[in-house]
């Protein structure tokens, strides 16, 4: 899998749009002109122009702000298209687990000691991520409090926060959909998911004291244990963690995936050519399939045949079109990022 928000944010502005020299079309804002690579989307094609894009898009009365929003969407779309093509066919989903699936009673309660309580999540491999799709809350009364996710490299500030509300005397499932993985602001470290006991008021968590209710299902690639930590303010103290037998009224779902986000972001300079070509393909198809009906658009009809030629090339003439170049660029990225050594044959002496 790839994390769409991080991929688009990390690669946006690697290639930019050059502003038009034509009066009335010199409308590209600063954000859309940013190019970390020095490449622009117009490089290498006389058809990929701001004028052609504006005349081919659907809205005949589009204003400058709307047009720049369109350019931003187009760039984000081609970034995602390229990255999806590069990881296409690679394994993604590994396992989905309910950490504590077995029957529990709603009888005995957990005492409080004024700590941060929940789960320690220890990752083992950088390209494997853990998604927490939901959290289960088992408490004796209704109470609203926050669930937090910390990374040990940032113990002062939670990286995720969500207000949850319990239901008295039974379990309640609440959607989290949190990702446990390396981020741009921290690398490595362990994660801590839980709550501050002092936020409970008079509410108390139920124990997992029935039969095998406290039996935990192990997760591949991530070591997960219930823990308690002291804290000061909102800063957790990861040096004095205590492993616990109780889960303090909590249970979580765990989905394990292969994740290629960090791999792509670490090698983003390799993607600029493919992103540029993907935009070429997108604009050429805009020209070919435009439904606009105005006099200037009708002028574009004369260049549709050139768009076809540029898109597909000419095999007999030995000319490779944009699609062929893009496919080659994707293949090059796949070989570079997912290198497989060739099998060699040898003899024993």
pLDDT of residue 300: 57
Contacts of 53 (CB under 8 A, 6+ apart): 70, 71, 74, 283, 286
Question: Which pLDDT tens digit goes with each residue over 326-336?
Answer: 999 999 999 99
Residue whose C-alpha is closest to residue 162's, from 120, 122, 132? 132
* DSSP output for 130-177: EEEEEEEEEESS--EEEEEEEETTSTTS-SEEEEEE--BTEEEEEEEE
Percent of the chain exceeding pLDDT 70 equals: 91
Residue 108: name the closest of 238, 205, 232, 6 by CA.
205
If one compares 339 and 11, the residue with the highest pLDDT of the two is 11
How many residues are listed for the chain in this entry? 349
pLDDT over threshold 60, residue 272: yes
At residue 293, the pLDDT reads 59
Q: What is the mean pLDDT of residues 343-349?
A: 52
Higher-scoring residue by pLDDT: 342, 34: 34
Across the chain, where does the E strand assignment appear? 93-98, 116-123, 128-139, 144-151, 160-165, 170-180, 191-196, 222-229, 231-232, 235-236, 242-243, 250-258, 313-314, 319-320
Question: Does the predicted model carry a pTM greater than 0.85?
Answer: no
Per-residue model confidence (pLDDT) at position 301 = 59
pLDDT of residue 345: 55
Q: Kindly report the backbone phi and psi dihedral angles of residue 61, in degrees, each rounded to the nearest multiple of 5, phi listed first.
A: -110, 25
- In percent, the amount of the chain with pLDDT more than 90 equals 59
Residue whose C-alpha is closest to residue 27's, from 56, 59, 53, 57: 53
Partnered with residue 304 across adjacent β-strands are: none
**CA proximity to 57, closest of 228, 292, 218:** 292
pLDDT bracket for residue 348 (50, 70, 90): low
pLDDT at 146: 97
Count CB atoms within 10 A of the CB of residue 134: 16
| Bridge partners of residue 186, in order along the sequence | 183
Residue 295 has a pLDDT of: 46
Total Cβ atoms within 10 A of residue 45: 18
**Conformational region of residue 160, where left means phi above 0, alpha means psi within -120 to 50, and beta covers everything else:** beta
The alpha carbon torsion through 296, 301, 302, 307 (nearest 10 deg) reads 120
Q: Which of 120-134, 249-263, 269-283, 309-323 has the highest mean pLDDT?
A: 269-283
Domain 93-259 belongs in CATH node 2.60.40? no
Strand ranges inside 231-338, DSSP E = 231-232, 235-236, 242-243, 250-258, 313-314, 319-320
Beta-carbon count within 10 A of 24 CB = 9
Q: How far apart are CA 318 and CA 308, in angstroms?
A: 15
List, for residues 293-323, the tens digit of each pLDDT value: 554 544 555 677 777 777 776 777 777 788 8
Residue 231 · residue 115 · CB < 8 Å: yes
SS3 61: coil
What are the extents of the domains in the chain?
Answer: 4-89+263-337, 93-259
């Amino acid at each position: 899998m790839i994390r769409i928000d991080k991929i688009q944010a990390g690669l946006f502005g690697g290639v930019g749009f050059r502003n038009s020299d034509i009066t009335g079309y010199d409308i590209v804002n600063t954000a859309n002109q940013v190019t970390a690579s020095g490449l622009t989307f117009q490089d290498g094609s006389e058809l990929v122009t701001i004028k052609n894009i504006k005349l081919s898009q659907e809205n005949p009365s589009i204003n400058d702000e709307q047009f720049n929003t369109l350019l931003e969407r187009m760039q984000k779309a081609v970034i995602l298209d390229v990255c999806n093509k590069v990881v296409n066919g690679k394994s993604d989903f590994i396992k989905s687990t309910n950490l504590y699936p077995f029957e529990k009673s709603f009888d005995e309660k957990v005492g409080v000691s004024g700590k941060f309580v929940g789960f320690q999540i220890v990752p083992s491999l950088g390209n494997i991520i853990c998604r927490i799709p939901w959290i289960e809350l088992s408490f004796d009364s209704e109470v609203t409090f926050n669930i937090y996710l910390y990374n040990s490299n940032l113990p002062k500030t939670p990286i995720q926060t969500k207000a949850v509300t319990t239901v008295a005397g039974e379990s309640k499932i609440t959607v989290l959909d949190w990702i446990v993985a390396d981020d741009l602001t921290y690398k490595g470290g362990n994660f801590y998911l839980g709550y501050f006991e002092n936020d409970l008021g008079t509410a108390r968590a139920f124990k997992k004291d029935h039969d095998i209710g406290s039996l935990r299902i192990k997760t591949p690639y991530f070591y997960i244990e219930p823990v308690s930590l002291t804290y000061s303010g909102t800063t957790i103290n990861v040096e004095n963690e205590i492993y616990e037998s109780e889960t303090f009224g909590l249970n979580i779902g765990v989905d394990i995936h292969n994740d290629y986000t960090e791999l792509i972001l670490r090698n983003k300079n390799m993607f600029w050519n493919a992103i540029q070509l993907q935009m070429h393909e997108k604009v050429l198809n805009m020209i070919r399939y435009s439904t606009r009906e105005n006099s200037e658009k009708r002028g574009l009809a004369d260049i549709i045949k050139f768009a076809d030629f540029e898109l597909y090339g000419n095999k007999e003439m030995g000319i490779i079109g944009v699609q062929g170049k893009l496919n080659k660029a994707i293949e090059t990225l796949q070989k570079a990022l997912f290198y497989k050594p060739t099998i060699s044959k040898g003899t024993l002496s």
